[in-house]
Copies of this chain bind each other. A is one copy, B any other.
Amino acid sequence: MDPDDVALALESVPLAERHQAWQRIKHANRLDVLVEMRGESRQLLLKQLDDDEIEALFSDVDAEDLLDIADSLPERLVDLAFKQMDTKQRTYYQQGAVYDEDEVGRWVDHDLLIASQTIRVAEAIKLFKRSDAPYTDVIYLVNRIGRWVGCVRIQALLNANGHEPVSSLMTEDYPFLDATTDVVKAAETLEREEYVALPVIDENHLLLGRFHSGLALEAARLELEAQQMSNAGLNEESDLFAPVKRSAATRGMWLGINLLTAFLASAFISIFEATLEQVVALAVLMPIVASMGGIAGSQTLTLIVRGLALGQITRANLSSLLNKEMKVGGLNGVFWSVIIGGVVLWWFQSPMLGVVIALAIIVNILMAALSGVLIPVILDKLKIDPALSGSVILTTVTDIAGFVAFLGLGTLLLL
């Protein structure tokens, strides 16, 4: 069984039995399993281990492992692990720790073929023949002080004369990644340029290591998971069986934010208490108006958020986009308002109530289209990620607009 599989299996064991399950894993595999675990699961497990156990566990930790898990470890344990590494691994760790979790500098692989730019082809071939690192289709050349100067393809080496200097075979304009590049962008570069791995370079052009397609696929997989979880205000590092108090606390935050928006909507409803008292059907129907606006708005929002992420939305096309979304909203507004108005007329036997809800639906769907375009564009301008906060703001707007339009029109036309 792979360490990833063991880690997954361990995370699916309830907390009370997890320590026992951990003990059944072979000592030699434990570190790999720990590294593969989700952050919260790892924290919870380490809490159950005593210091001797942890020290033994970290006895052959390397820089890549430690960089992976450092963020979910207490300072004390990071120090303990750091002390047990050799000089080379310590240097790698220090080089990587400078960068954020989502910067490619922290994702660097050190298992690459590096050679001085002064060696000859025959030596380079010898180097390649002895290597068994995956993702190896080039040799990375550096100058005397470790600056990256270029890459030579294995095929180029094999087709050349053994006495030639390797530097004459360098692929022109070989792409590289700045260590501060976002890891998801780096993965896109790898895909687009059709490379197996690319050199990662710091601000002084020193070669930190490489970013290969295995890491790129891992980054893409984690991004997908993060995105699924963040839709519900959760973190991708969450443990399925996290302790009750801890889960309740992390989820409580999101509930609290939502509660504020719900109270805000209620405050707007309360303006129309007198109307509701007289026409109780308005209370029965008001969730329909709010939810149609919410759905229509989140459709527009989703399209715009994707457009922003892809860099497709510009000052030049914003107004035609708004225009188009308003037309789509208008068309859907009219269509559904006729249906809803008809159903309400039949249900409550009140033509005027049908007219009120039909008008409110049109108003709210138009409002939803407008907000669906403008909210993410404004958030993006303010450097706030519209994918995270856009939807909360949007549904607050469509709830309030829906209630006010429906109850306001009800007050005007039904009393």
Complex CA distance for A302 and B231, rounded to whole angstroms:
8
Stretch at the interface among A94-102, A140-148, A152-160, A202-210: A152-160
Contact B131 A155 (CB under 8 A): yes
Using a CB-CB cutoff of 8 Å, which residues 211-243 of chain A contact chain B?
Answer: 213-214, 216-218, 220-221, 223-225, 227-229, 231-234, 238, 240-241
A251: chain B residues at CB < 8 Å are 296, 299, 328, 332
Using a CB-CB cutoff of 8 Å, which residues 251-282 of chain A contact chain B?
Answer: 251-252, 254-256, 258-259, 261-263, 265-266, 269-270, 273, 276-277, 280-282
Query: Of B187, B196, B317, B399, which one neighbours A14 at CB under 8 angstroms?
Result: B317
Contact B287 A399 (CB under 8 A): yes
Q: Does A136 belong to the interface (CB within 8 Å)?
A: yes
Q: Which of A131, A159, A241 has the most CB of B within 10 A?
A: A241
A317: chain B residues at CB < 8 Å are 12-14, 241
Query: Of B220, B227, B262, which one neighbours A292 at CB under 8 angstroms?
Result: B262
A191: chain B residues at CB < 8 Å are 214, 217-218, 221
Interface band, chain A: 35 or more
Q: Does A174 belong to the interface (CB within 8 Å)?
A: no
Stretch at the interface among A53-61, A64-72, A81-89, A304-312: A304-312
Given contacts A217-B191, A241-B324, A299-B251, are A313 and B12 in contact (CB under 8 A)?
yes
Contact B262 A221 (CB under 8 A): no
Q: Which residue of B has the minimal Cβ distance to A296?
A: B255
A266: chain B residues at CB < 8 Å are 284-285, 287-288
Given contacts A217-B213, A217-B220, A227-B228, are A244 and B331 in contact (CB under 8 A)?
yes
Contact A136 B137 (CB under 8 A): yes
Given contacts A224-B227, A228-B306, A285-B266, are A255 and B292 in contact (CB under 8 A)?
yes
Complex CA distance for A229 and B306, rounded to whole angstroms:
8
Complex CA distance for A299 and B305, rounded to whole angstroms:
22
Q: Does A4 belong to the interface (CB within 8 Å)?
A: yes
Query: Of B11, B244, B312, B321, which one neighbours A312 at CB under 8 angstroms?
Result: B11
Contact B234 A303 (CB under 8 A): yes
For this complex, 17 residue pairs linking A to B, each with C-beta atoms less than 8 Å apart, are A14-B324, A128-B155, A128-B158, A129-B159, A154-B154, A188-B221, A190-B213, A213-B216, A220-B221, A220-B224, A234-B299, A241-B320, A241-B321, A248-B328, A262-B287, A262-B288, A287-B287
* Minimum-distance CB pairs A-B, first 3: A213-B213, A283-B283, A12-B312
